[in-house]
Structure 1
Amino acid sequence: MLDERGKKKEYVKAGITLFLGLLILSVFMVVLGGHWFWEKLETYPVRFVTVKDLVTGRPVKYGGMDIGRILNIELDPADPRYIRVTLGVKKDFPLYSGTKARISQKGLVGDYYVFLDLQGEPGPLLEPGSEIPAARTMDMQELAAVAGDLLADVKPKIDEIAANIDELLSPENVEMVGRMLRQGPALLDDTKAAVEAFRRDWAALAEKGQSVAGTLDKTLTRAETAVGAVEDELRKTLVDFRAETSRAGKLADEFRVNLNYDQDLVEEILGNLNRTSRDLKDLMARLKERPWQVIRPPREEGK
């Protein structure tokens, strides 16, 4: 039997063992749960349409490096169509504008994680708390579903193509093609003969064309000569016309001078006639008033 002192030692050992076991279990729970209190992380939110099988504690990678982990996954309070994922990135790790986040998978059946990728030229540094835009990706299951839908859409067309091929290769068409192939040499001979005849006709036409071109050249030469003669005659006619026009201008000037002189004479004659008419009117008026003055005109004073 153990004495009181031995019992105390056993109790102390059991307590220490229990404490160490609970401590190790707590550390495992913290590590497996993704709660690493000794890390200094900066948070960046990302909004995904779906998070697939993503859970907290999964790694955040950049170019294959582990740079953090997922801290929280919740429904976006601003827009319930999205899932808000809070990323914890190691402090002082540079993230630039143009970085996008997508959910990736290790292999074909591995765990999901968040992969950060810089697309295009890097912009300014992202401040902690800035939202990282999400890039839409498809996993193998979605690709398989899309491929199945595509096959379902393409299958009727493939069946139609197969039916058309069967109709094309029907016995009647095969017989027709065979008959055309058998008649092919004769068709080639006829084609060659037609080509030779066309060449001969073209050569004859070319010779005729040369003679016609010569005749046309002579005609053009004659026409050019006639045009030259007409041009000379026209030039002489223009010289004569200009001389006659100059003479006519001189005659017109002389006629204008004579007309002006005659006009002055006519105006003087008309003035004299006007004065004569006034004098006659005056005389007639006096004769009407004093007809005796015709017999005995009045004497002037002093006579």
Structure 2
Amino acid sequence: METRASYVTVGAFAIVLFVGGLFLAIWFGGVRLDQETRPFLIEFQGAVDGLSTGSPVRYRGVPVGTVSDIRIDPENVEVIRVDIEVDAEVPIKKDMYAVLQAQGLTGIGFIQIEGGTADAEELEPTGDRPVPRIPARSSALSKVFETAPQIADRLVVVIARIEEFLSEENEQNFRMLLANLATVSTTVADRSDEIEAVISGAAASVEDLRQAAAEVGPLMQEASATLATVRGTAVGLDNEVAALSGSLAKAGDRIASTAGELEGMLADARPGMKDFTNTGLYELTQFLVEARFLVSNIDRVLRQIDRDPSQFLFGDRDGQVEAEQ
């Protein structure tokens, strides 16, 4: 009887200890047995490695729910449908989105809800979707995993080029380069005095150039003054040429006006010239013929007067003498 009683006591103590530990775990963990939740749906386009039923759902790092179910969309095998339960007191806005992330180095996945503004409307179910759907985006880690094969290929190429660069031939060339550098440095050290002399000569040349530049300064000023004078003369010549061009333009206008007047006069005289050509020219020809005949007669009379004026004035005198006798 005593042995059986001890078993009952130990069993009762273990049960009380378990219940007490469970109560303490619930109390320290902040688990609410009367907590109300709301269902939401998240559709991921890629893999959901590390995510399982019961994985936490967080909003900006704060636990707000858990994953209740994970399954493949029967209509599209590229889509993973994840059902979550979120605390009913946590507002889920329309501008929020879900990202799959991994916790530490363990690789355990959880869902991080990000985004959301105070002025945005809450996400509500629609007619074709009784459960509200939170949009999903790719996380930085998933992008790294997606680009990991490309990075690995590039690393392979880089390693191959490094191995090629570190070949025996290049190693020998590098050793020869170091030997040549050592030789050059030794030669430079041996000829340091000559190099110093060259540097001193260069410094002297620079000083000479500085003095020459100082002497060239006044010459440049004089040249600038000369250029200014030439520029002023050119401006004066431009003004005179402009005035001459104006005078020539006026003379051209006057010549054009005179030519127009002459053209008008010729136009007015053209009918008279035409009449003169048709009739007056013939009459003038007749006049010249008659004038020539008149001049011939006058010439003949003048010759006769010159040869015998008395005969011209008194006629034939021989006949008068015979009459008196």
2-structure distance, mates of 1:48, 1:231 = 83
Per-residue deviation, 1:119: 6.8
Q: What TM-score comes out, normalization by structure 2 length?
A: 0.52
* 1:151-300 superposed matches below 5 A: 155=159, 160=165, 167=175, 170-177=178-185, 179-180=187-188, 182=192, 185-209=196-220, 249-263=260-274, 269=279
Does the CA contact (< 8 Å) of 1:96 and 1:126 recur in 2?
Answer: yes
Per-residue deviation, 1:138: 2.6
Task: Flag the 1:178–1:246 CA change in 2: closer, same or farther, 3 A.
Answer: same
2-structure distance, mates of 1:113, 1:55 = 8
1:49 to 24, 46, 55: 46
The match for 2:109 is 112
The match for 2:132 is 130
1:67 to 45, 64, 68: 64
Identity of aligned residues (%): 20
Does the CA contact (< 8 Å) of 1:102 and 1:137 recur in 2?
Answer: no
Task: Flag the 1:257–1:106 CA change in 2: closer, same or farther, 3 A.
Answer: closer
Cα deviation digits, residues 241-272 of structure 1 (max 9, x gap): 666665555444333322233446767x59xx
2-structure distance, mates of 1:266, 1:257 = 16
Cα deviation digits, residues 167-218 of structure 1 (max 9, x gap): 5971321332454473653443233233223334444555555555566666
Does the CA contact (< 8 Å) of 1:71 and 1:88 recur in 2?
Answer: yes
Task: Flag the 1:151–1:237 CA change in 2: closer, same or farther, 3 A.
Answer: closer
Structure 1: runs of 5 or more not aligned: 2-12, 271-303
2-structure distance, mates of 1:110, 1:220 = 84
Per-residue deviation, 1:136: 2.7
The match for 2:304 is none
2-structure distance, mates of 1:51, 1:185 = 72
Cα deviation digits, residues 224-247 of structure 1 (max 9, x gap): 777777777776666666666655
The alignment covers a number of residue pairs equal to 239
2-structure distance, mates of 1:78, 1:180 = 80
Task: Flag the 1:99–1:186 CA change in 2: closer, same or farther, 3 A.
Answer: farther
Q: Which moved more, 1:94-103 or 1:180-189?
A: 180-189
Q: What TM-score comes out, normalization by structure 1 length?
A: 0.55
2:85 to 80, 88, 101: 88
Structure 2: runs of 5 or more not aligned: 2-7, 27-32, 126-130, 281-325
